[in-house]
Amino acid sequence: MKKFLFSLGLVLSLSTSFAQVNTEELNTNPTQLAEKYNTLVKESLAKGDVTKASESLAKLTKYENGKVWQVRNKDTKKDEFYYTQEELNAATANGNYAKAKEVALMPKYSFLLQSQVSELANKELNEASTALDAKNYDVAGQKFLNVYNLVEALGTKEDIYKYQAAISYYNGNKFEKSLEIIKDLASKNFTGISANQTKNYNRDLYVLGLNTLFNLKKADPFLDEALAKYPKDVDINTLATSIYQATGNSDKLKAKIEENIKINPTDHLNYYNLGVLLMEDASQEARVKELFKKSIELNPKHTESYKNLVASYLVKDKEYVEKINNNLGSSKQEKAIYAENIAKRKALFTEIIPILEKIHQMEPNDISVIKNLAVAYRTIEDSAKEDYYRTLERKTVSGK
């Protein structure tokens, strides 16, 4: 009877990671790298391999635009090339380096390819949309990645295409692929805002990432970052609760549900889920009942709250039955204990019968509820009602 229920159906992760050093990139002049990737682009296009062509174009764009810091490593006697100030500072902080020289990169090959790349980008975008409409999500995901790389080669950053790729892979159940893209976007503080669209998709990216983690049943530092960034967001907190439950983190699960109640006190599932979580703790019996009652107050049609409320009452029944069975003798003390616990059982079932009747109204064909009603009425010695539910039980089972 005990069951967790979490609200899902929201659709986008981020972890802190350090990139590995690319030795070729570190020790090779960018003009040589640009020449290499220009050759790879042409070879891939000649073969009709748009994916490899777009990936090579992205590299070509990097080595022909912006700037690079060239610095001499005095230990290796070699020049090293860094493409961001942060990378340069990290490398030279504790190393033996000469003074760095800032060099502006100039486009050469990518400029000559612009017309061909623009035509190819439009073609890939149309094919991505067609694949998406056909629910061919794997193809759509790769096509959107191609568009992203091709558009970047034209000198424009349109991260929204990468985001579309992540959504496509998610919808195609390629959760690991989706997560990899999401983490990359989140690490760059993705918003999706550009000259072509003004909506900020950062929060949606985190929602997609958390849905991905839930489907993977995976814990990830991205969860903590999502909560730190959107601490009061109802959807993100609900997804976090689901991930804690899916990964077996009961301490964080309990703390998160308690927090969710404060954030969204009108969501019945928060009270229900906390009630379920606390049912194993005998010291929380009274609170568990109040939590299920609060869930019912907020959503009178939530049958699981009624069923678990009944279960919370029936915890005491086992104790009463044991005392009755252990005091079947004829001594005065045994008779007193027997009578006391018979009375307690009657009082207990008198209290839960209205709850069972309510469940029966909502689920008239639930055979377990019908059986429990028959037992409950037998316990309080209402033979007419017991007979009614015994007859109903036989009819329900037979289908007549």
Task: Give me the helices (H) in the chain, please.
Answer: 23-27, 30-47, 50-64, 85-92, 109-112, 114-133, 137-153, 160-171, 175-187, 202-216, 221-229, 234-246, 250-263, 268-278, 285-298, 303-325, 332-362, 367-379, 383-398
As a whole number of angstroms, the longest Cα–Cα distance in the chain is 105
Give the torsion sign (CA, 342, 345, 351, 352): negative
Give the torsion sign (CA, 374, 379, 383, 384): negative
Among 107, 103, 118, smallest CA distance to 38 is for: 107
Give the torsion sign (CA, 259, 261, 263, 269): positive
Task: Give me the helices (H) in 105-174, please.
Answer: 109-112, 114-133, 137-153, 160-171
What is the arithmetic mean of pLDDT over 322-343? Answer: 91
**In the 3-class helix/strand/coil scheme, how is 31-62 assigned residue by residue?**
HHHHHHHHHHHHHHHHHCCHHHHHHHHHHHHH
- Name the CA dihedral angle for 62, 127, 192, 37, rounded to a multiple of 10 degrees: 0
Is residue 122 very low, low, confident or very high in pLDDT (cuts 50, 70, 90)?
confident
Distances (CA, A) of 170 to 36, 137, 215: 34, 8, 10
Q: Is the confidence at residue 87, as pLDDT, over 50?
A: yes
Q: Is the confidence at residue 248, as pLDDT, over 90?
A: no
Distances (CA, A) of 7 to 236, 242, 318: 11, 8, 33
What is the arithmetic mean of pLDDT over 208-229? Answer: 94
Which amino acid is residue 123, in one-letter code? K
Contacts of residue 341, defined as CB under 8 A and 6 or more positions apart, other chains included, come to 320, 321, 323, 324, 327
Which amino acid is residue 154, in one-letter code? L
Residue % of the chain over a pLDDT of 90: 53
127-136 pLDDT, tens digit per residue, is 999 999 999 9
Beta strand 101-104 with 78-82: parallel, antiparallel or unpaired?
unpaired
Give pLDDT, residue 111.
64
CA atoms within 13 A on the CB side of 379: 24
Question: What is the layout of strands, in order, in the sheet containing 101-104?
Answer: 78-82, 67-73, 101-104
Give the three-state DSSP class for 376: helix
Is residue 150 very low, low, confident or very high in pLDDT (cuts 50, 70, 90)?
confident
d(CA 153, CA 262): 48
Q: Is the confidence at residue 19, as pLDDT, over 60?
A: no
Q: Is the confidence at residue 83, as pLDDT, over 70?
A: yes
Q: Which backbone phi and psi does 221 adopt, to 5 degrees?
A: -55, -20
d(CA 8, CA 275): 19
Higher pLDDT, 121 or 361: 361
What is the arithmetic mean of pLDDT over 153-176? Answer: 92
CA atoms within 13 A on the CB side of 181: 25
Give pLDDT, residue 176.
97
